[in-house]
Amino acid sequence: MVLIICCVCILLGFFMYLKAKENHLTTHTFTFQNLPHSFSPLKILFISDIHRRVVSEELLSKVPPFIDLVIIGGDLTEAGVPFERVEENLRILTSYGPTYFVFGNNDYEVGKESLEKLLKKYQVTVLNNTSMPLSSNKGETIFLIGVEDMNEERDCLDSALKGVLTNSFNILVSHNPKIIDKFPENHNISLVLSGHEHGGQIRLFGFGLYEKGKVHVYKKLTLLISNGYGTSGIPLRLGAPAEAHYIEITSDTK
């Protein structure tokens, strides 16, 4: 009996290890009335919580051509990950288009200045509690907003929103989805991209430490919480598939 239990545990562990290595590309199509028509469709590759993984060719083979923005939603790395691996992941991701990054809690473990230096080498724009206006060839503008991780109160939403136009289409990137609890009632953010929670990483009978990644649609905004691409602590997953995201945003023509 003990032998059978041990065999089952070994098989389950191996199964969870394989699940952690999967390469799901989850596709989303969002429509917003305030997206300028000259940006439609806006095509985004969003990936968070890479941690110790190498971005796989299997995942990349699923990414459509002509990406407008690549957004890394934090935890690109963590303590103990060779910088050569991080650099290779950046080389791959930045080849798809202009790339933007927000810090996650584990990114600080390798030294903020060291990581920013590497990001600068690959021309990645770091959104440290700031916003970036993006203009179309028709002169229309949207804003990409980023806040630092909420751990140790590094986030400053007021600074991030400074200079953002009140009537513009705005995307906010935060590693931690709980940033929405700090939004003022009169905010004008349409889409929030986040990760951090890994979908609970290991879910038993549908339950986990955090909810499974999903899209939440509220009255004034849409919130995407990713399961993340890598793992934290142990390289195992169950019930919360490893994923990156292809997002296509269109304007409402009605």
Q: How many helices (H) and strands (E) does the chain have?
A: 5, 12
What is the total count of domains within the chain?
Answer: 1
Angle between helices 112-121 and 83-94 (to 10 degrees): 40
The reported pLDDT for the residue numbered 8 is 61
Residue 232 — pLDDT band, cuts 50, 70, 90?
confident
The residue among 126, 166, 120 whose CA lies nearest residue 149 is 126
- Strands (E) located in 182-242: 191-194, 214-217, 222-225
* Residue 5 reports pLDDT greater than 80: no
121-161 per-position pLDDT tens digit: 999 999 999 999 999 999 999 999 999 999 889 999 999 99
Residue 106 predicted with pLDDT over 80: yes
Q: What is the pLDDT of residue 254?
A: 53
Length of the chain: 254
Q: What is the pLDDT at residue 30? A: 97
- The amino acid sitting at 86 is V
pLDDT score recorded for residue 150: 94
Q: Residue 84 is inside which H or E element, if any?
A: helix 83-94
Which string of DSSP letters, residue by residue, matches 197-222? SGGGSB-BTTB-SSPPPEEEE-SS-E
The pLDDT, as a whole number, for residue 233 is: 86
189, two tokens: 């953010």
Question: Residue 65, preceding bond cis, omega within 30 degrees?
Answer: no
Q: In sequence order, what are the residues at sequence separation of 6 or more whose Cβ sits closer than 8 angstroms to the Cβ of residue 21?
A: 242
Cβ neighbours for 130, distance < 8 A, ≥ 6 positions apart: 145, 146, 159, 160, 162
pLDDT value of residue 62: 97
Longest dimension (CA), the chain: 71
pLDDT-based confidence at 253, cuts 50/70/90? low
CB under 8 Å to 75, separation ≥6 — which residues?
48, 49, 50, 51, 104, 105, 106, 107, 175, 195, 196, 228, 230, 232
Please report which confidence band the pLDDT of residue 11 belongs to, taking 50, 70 and 90 as the band edges.
Answer: confident
Average pLDDT of the chain, as a whole number: 93
Q: What DSSP letter does each residue of 185-197 carry, written as one string? A: TT----EEEE-SS
Q: Which domain, by its residues, includes 40?
A: 2-251
- Here the CATH number for the domain that contains residue 229 is 3.60.21
